[in-house]
Amino acid sequence: MANIKDVAKIAGCSISTVSYALNDDKRIPEVTARKIKKIADDIGYLPSAAARNLKKKNTRTVLVAISDFGGPVYHELLDGIHYELAKNDYTMIVSTGASTDNLLKERMADGTIISDINITNKTLKQISKILKPIIILDRKLDDTDLVDMTIDNYDAMYRLTEDVISKGYKKIAFCHGVKKTHDNEYRFNGFKDALNNHGLKVYAEYIGNFTKGSGAKLAEELLENRQLPEMIVCANDEMAIGIMEVLQKSGYNIPGDIGISGFDDIELSSYFTPKLSSVRINRFEWGKKIAKTMLSLLTKRKAEVNKEQGELKIRDSY
Amino acid sequence: MANIKDVAKIAGCSISTVSYALNDDKRIPEVTARKIKKIADDIGYLPSAAARNLKKKNTRTVLVAISDFGGPVYHELLDGIHYELAKNDYTMIVSTGASTDNLLKERMADGTIISDINITNKTLKQISKILKPIIILDRKLDDTDLVDMTIDNYDAMYRLTEDVISKGYKKIAFCHGVKKTHDNEYRFNGFKDALNNHGLKVYAEYIGNFTKGSGAKLAEELLENRQLPEMIVCANDEMAIGIMEVLQKSGYNIPGDIGISGFDDIELSSYFTPKLSSVRINRFEWGKKIAKTMLSLLTKRKAEVNKEQGELKIRDSY
DNA sequence: TAATTGAAGTGAAACGTTTCAACTAATAGA
DNA sequence: TCTATTAGTTGAAACGTTTCACTTCAATTA
């Protein structure tokens, strides 16, 4: 693999000249620079990122760590982050699972954006002392240097619940996702407070894990016990869809017999019959904001933090 | 940021001892190693990936470059690749767009997997000389060191088309995705050959770009001209869905009035009404195979290449 | 006792860049 | 003609690791 030395040898100049030329330093005259670049091209010289990063002590790279590539939720977010980062000539790399662990243990990026519930608070606290800046999307953690940019789950769910109440539903249940996750807790609190402030009680609480499967299982249990509420507010769309599928197979009409709502507004939701009412987050915009914050953290070391608002998408499922 | 020197100073030993200890070299006794690791932990020492990569001349990292995070097609594939890579203690990083360009220009990974139609053949040919190994998923390119692991589009589409013919359709049109892409060409050829071998002609060809929107637009044009075929075989699911939506809005019954098929079997397809007939690729398995090939390229410098087969999913849309 | 072995640890070179400080040669100014 | 300036170029240090080759010292063997 050709290195800068090889280029210098062929060009008959010093290493420093090559380096300056390749980096468009103005002290190298146009004509020399062109010649050097030509040679570099010809022999297939690619600079070693390792050597450069080592010397410059930065990588112009931001790492985004996510739980998995499977969920329908991340794409827009990643595209938004990438859009903004690329505009500022930063490189984005994405990782999951074990790869994230490795990447976190070796400082390969200048900044890190994390939305991965598999990373424990403990780990997070540890690395937050060492690996700044870090923006965290899926929880809040006090007494750390983590910058959190969560969605305003509470507010959105509060508003959705008010809309449900306004339709006349009284026996309203909540279907939890993974308990203790930030998303679930804040959504539930918004739900509960809206109910209470309108003189209603939580009719029942069910526990899923954010997947379609868990929604389906839950619905089967409900059918067995014949204890259906008038309405189930779900912590996310996937569980809502799982519930609807099972209920429909058993002959229930939605929203005739029971109302259902979701959260996230994944693509499937508007194709399902009935179309699922949900909360839409403009994740592309959210991603852009996150990237902007990261950029200012990287340069100015400070940031204006921002809660992302959700938009109610009331359709046909309640 | 603490470095290995700091650890050595506190531990009262040499840099080499720290390095050996941290890398579990057997010449450092258990007790010393533990002490050193403790110190490293305490002062928040993280090894510099840059320095290590520079010295070791490898990164134990594989880069996967994709067109965008938006499509519903990549998730399983990425998960499959990651699964296999992680098992072998390799790190996977993923990039798109401009980030890919940067990453390709700096050698940050030991190997590269590319499925990005935005990268030109020319670029690909250039980097294939320098940046080996590279596995390419979305085309074939002769006279290069690229290893291609495309899907067996031809075979799958041939079989799908035979099934369509067996249902009695005669006037069968094809809806192209982006022309000249490998996927589109091979799917079309499989379609065409199946038709010809059964004594049929291609009834018409429409041109889309693999998106739902392009399918919708196309359907609108067809409605204007009132020239509907009996069946449209689409180069992918998204276009098929776009077409179906528009046709249904205009009162057409699918499959009563016209049959439609797709390719890829994205999640949406089995939720749409009618359920879309399509070709399923087990992308998780495909990803695992790709990763295995990459691994053997990385270690043994050779690979058994493999075409991934598709499975027909005949449902209700024709 | 002397020689040998082995365990534990160390010094220093090397990886491929960037960049500071210094140098040369040519030009401009006095 | 001499000095000051400037454009172009260069040598070498530094970044933080890994690892080869070597040393030291205690224990074992003959």
Residue type for A125, please? Answer: K
- Alpha-carbon Rg for chain A, nearest whole angstrom, is 26
pLDDT at A226: 82
Mean pLDDT across the stretch A242-250? 96
Are A91 and B103 inside 8 Å of each other by CB?
Answer: yes
Mean pLDDT across the stretch A102-113? 92
pLDDT at B71: 64
Mean pLDDT across the stretch A310-318? 95
Residue type for A75, please? Answer: H
CA of A82 to C1' of D3 (A): 56
Residues 259-318 (B) near nucleic chain D, CB < 7 A: none
Residues 76-135 (B) near nucleic chain D, CB < 7 A: none
pLDDT at B72: 64
Boundaries of every domain in chain A: 4-47, 59-151+283-308, 153-281
Nucleotide nearest to B48 (CA to C1'): D16
Give the CA angle between residues A294, A110, A54 to the nearest 5°.
160
CATH fold of the domain at A153-281: Rossmann fold (3.40.50)
pLDDT band at A206 (very low <50, low <70, confident <90, very high): very high
What residues have CB less than 8 Å from B97, skipping those under 6 apart?
A82, A86, B68, B118
Are B105 and A47 inside 8 Å of each other by CB?
Answer: yes
What residues have CB less than 8 Å from A146, skipping those under 6 apart?
A124, A128, A134, A135, A136
Cβ atoms of B183 and B140 within 8 Å: the answer is no
**Mutating which of B41, B52, B54 best tests the A interface, going by the most A Cβ atoms within 10 A?**
B54
Q: Which of A115-129, A248-262, B39-53 has the lowest mean pLDDT?
A: A115-129
Please give the model's pTM, rounded to 2 decimal places.
0.90
The tens place of each residue's pLDDT in chain B, 318 residues long, gives 899 999 999 999 999 999 999 999 999 999 999 999 999 999 999 999 999 999 999 999 999 999 988 666 788 899 999 999 999 999 999 999 999 999 999 889 999 999 998 999 999 998 998 998 999 999 989 889 999 999 999 999 999 999 999 999 999 999 999 999 999 999 999 999 999 999 999 999 999 999 999 999 999 999 998 889 999 999 999 999 999 999 999 999 999 999 999 999 998 899 899 999 999 999 999 999 999 999 999 998 777 777 889 999 999 999
Are A50 and B46 inside 8 Å of each other by CB?
Answer: no
Mean of pLDDT over chain A: 94
Within 10 angstroms of residue B12's Cβ, the number of other Cβ atoms is 9
pLDDT at B190: 98
What is the three-class DSSP state of A297?
helix
Mean pLDDT across the stretch A41-55? 96
Let me know if the fold of B59-151+283-308 is the same as that of B153-281: yes
pLDDT at B226: 83
Cα torsion angle, B24, B28, B29, B34, sign: negative
Q: Pick B130's closest partner by Cβ from A44, A91, A99.
A: A44
Are A46 and B1 inside 8 Å of each other by CB?
Answer: no
CATH classification (class only), B59-151+283-308: alpha beta
Residue A222 confidence (pLDDT) above 90? yes
DSSP assignments along chain B, one per residue: ---HHHHHHHHTS-HHHHHHHHTT-TTS-HHHHHHHHHHHHHTT----HHHHHHHHT--SEEEEEES-S-SSSHHHHHHHHHHHHHHTT-EEEEEEHHHHHHHHHTT--SEEEEE-TTS-HHHHHHHHHHS--EEESS---TTSSPEE--B-HHHHHHHHHHHHHHTT--SEEEEE-STT-HHHHHHHHHHHHHHHHTT----EEEE--SSHHHHHHHHHHHHHHT---SEEEESSHHHHHHHHHHHHHTT--TTTT-EEE-SB--GGGGTSSSPPBEEEE-HHHHHHHHHHHHHHHHHTS-----PBPEEEE--S--
Nucleotide nearest to B1 (CA to C1'): D16
Q: How far apart are the C-alpha atoms of B168 and B159, rounded to whole Å?
A: 15
Q: How far apart are the C-alpha atoms of B298 and B276, rounded to whole Å?
A: 40
**Contacts with B93 from chain A: Cβ below 8 Å:** 93-95, 99, 103
A7, B98, B211, B214 from B206: Cα distances, Å: 51, 31, 13, 10
Mean pLDDT across the stretch A230-249? 97
Mean pLDDT across the stretch A143-156? 93
